[in-house]
Amino acid sequence: MHETSLIQFTLDAVERRAKELGICHVSDIRLVIGELRGAVPEQMEIAFHLLTSADQARGLFSGARLDIEYRPVLLRCRACGHPFPSTLEAYAKAVCPRCESASHEILSGDELLIDSFCGE
Ligand SMILES: [Zn+2]
């Protein structure tokens, strides 16, 4: 499952950082994820529960909460600079609503970042 690898990636990164900071219990993780990552919110929750429960022996993530901010897709036209919203399904073939150019870049929607985490 795609979401499982996203969560595993997140937990690995948080664990590395927690070790550096001498944190032995993480209570909250705040994640920012763009729509282009194709993650289903419910599946993210399920994967988080499965993986943090599996970690119970060490206790680093026991009882931890996950807070996810989903970012919608926002494109910018390379021809006229006009920013416009899109979706995971449509962005590859999106056309600028102002000048009809099919050339665009992603302004937001492809994020996968750990905004912050709390622990002690
Ligand atoms: Zn344009």
* Answer CATH for 2-71+110-119 from 3.30.2320.50, 3.30.70.1230, 3.40.50.300, 3.90.650.10: 3.30.2320.50
pLDDT at site 56: 64
pLDDT at site 48: 95
Residue type, 119: G
Considering the chain, what is the average pLDDT of its residues?
93
Task: Please report, for residues 16, 45, 68, 90, the alpha-carbon distance to residue 115 in angstroms, rounded to integers and kept in the order given.
Answer: 15, 17, 9, 27
Ion ligand 1, residue ranges at CB < 5 A = 77, 79-80, 82, 96, 98-99, 101
Contacts of 44 (CB under 8 A, 6+ apart): 3, 6, 7, 33, 66, 68
What average pLDDT does this structure show over 1-19? 92
Query: Cα(36)–Cα(56) distance, rounded to whole angstroms?
Result: 31
Query: pTM (2 decimals)?
Result: 0.81
What average pLDDT does this structure show over 3-28? 94
Q: Ligand 1 center to residue 76 CA distance, Å?
A: 8
